[in-house]
Structure 1
Amino acid sequence: MTGTTSTRDADFTAVLNLPATPAAVAALFTSAAGVSRWWGPTEGDGAVGGTLVTGFGEHGANAMRVLESGPDRVVWESIAPDGAVPTGHTREWLGTRMEFDIAPADGGTELRFRHAGLTPRLDCWDACVDAWRHFMASIETLAETGTGTPFGT
C-alpha cells in the first residue's frame, strides 16, 4: 500500500494492488455485506441513493450516502447517522467523500482510495489516518486470504 500525502491540504489517499478480480473488489463497497467484511458491521443499501451505516461499538457509527455504485467507481458521502450515536469524528467528516476507483491491473485489481476532505487540517487527521491504514490493510488481507480485519474482529 502506498501511504498518505503530507501537505496541509492534501486528502488521504491509498493505492492497493489486489490479487482479486475488479468485480470481487467492487463488491466490497457496493453492499452492506461487502463493507462488513473489511470495515465493520454494516447495514443499509449500497445502491445509488442508499445509505450504509457502519457500527464501531462504543465509538458510535458512521453513515454514508451512496453517490456512485458502479463496477469501476464507488463514491460515498459522509452524513450524520439517523437514529444512531455518531462517531467522535463525524462532525469533521460531514460532507467529505470516500472514493474507490477500481481498475484491472496485472492479473488483479488496482484500488485507488481517496477520502476527499480528510486533510491534515482536521483535528482527527492522525487518528483517522491510522484507522484508514488499518482498514486498507484489512482490504489487502481480505483479497489475499478471504478474511479481513474489520472492527470487532
Structure 2
Amino acid sequence: METKEDYRQSVLIQCSVQQVFKALTQEIGEWWGPVDQPAIMPGDVFKIDFGGNSYWKFKIISADYDHILWECIASNQDHNVEGIDEEWLGSKLHWRFTQTKAGVTVTFIHQGLVPHGKCYDVCAPAWDFYVTESLKNFLEQGQGNPNER
C-alpha cells in the first residue's frame, strides 16, 4: 500500500504517452542502465545491471498506457549499507502518466523508499536524476544519461 512517505517525483515531458510507454518497457537501457531484456508484459522479469556486483531484478506486475508497475524481486547493491538489499525486496515502482496539452506528466512512486530508510539518501537523489533528467532528456532530445556499468 502506498503511503505519503513513499518517494515521489513528477516531471512534464514533451512527448506522447506511447513514447513514455516504450521508454519504460523497451528502452530502459537508454535512460536508466543496461537491462537483460525488455519489460513489456505482466510476468516478465528483467535485470538492470549497475556494474560490479550491483543489480536489481524486477517483475512486471502491470503494463498499461497509464500505469506501469514493477516489483523488485532481487537486489544486490555495492553501497556497503547493511540492510539496503532487504529494503528493496518487495518494493514496488509505480510509473503513472497522463497526456496533457503541454505534454505527458510522468509521476514515479517508489513504494517502500521512505525518508527514514537505509537507502533513501542514496536512492532518492538517483531517482531525481533518472526521472527528471535522464528519462526526460531521452524522450525530448533522444539522448538519456544511463548508468553504463
* TM-score class normalised by the smaller sequence: 0.7 to 0.9
Query: What are the within-5 Å matches in structure 2 for residues 2-151 of structure 1?
Result: 10-31=5-26, 34-46=27-39, 47-80=41-74, 86-88=76-78, 89-136=84-131, 137-151=133-147
Partner Cα distance (1:48, 1:102) in 2: 18
Partner Cα distance (1:45, 1:150) in 2: 16
Identity of aligned residues (%): 25
Aligned residue-pair number: 140
What is the one-letter code of the residue matched to 2:100?
A
CA contact (8 A) 1:9 1:120 kept: no
Name the structure, 1 or 2, with higher relative contact order (CA <8 Å, separation 6+): 2
Normalised to the residue count of structure 2, the TM-score between the two structures is: 0.87
Q: What's the CA shift for 1:105?
A: 1.1
Partner Cα distance (2:33, 2:121) in 1: 20
- SS of the counterpart of 2:137? helix
Q: Deviations over 1:52-71 (max 9, x none)?
A: 11000025111111001111
CA contact (8 A) 1:13 1:112 kept: yes
In structure 1, list runs of 5 or more residues that go unmatched: 1-7
Q: What's the CA shift for 1:106?
A: 1.6
Q: What's the CA shift for 1:45?
A: 4.4
Normalised to the residue count of structure 1, the TM-score between the two structures is: 0.85
What is the one-letter code of the residue matched to 1:138?
S
Q: Deviations over 1:9-44 (max 9, x none)?
A: 60110111000100001111123xx11111100113
What is the one-letter code of the residue matched to 1:152?
E
Q: What's the CA shift for 1:94?
A: 0.5
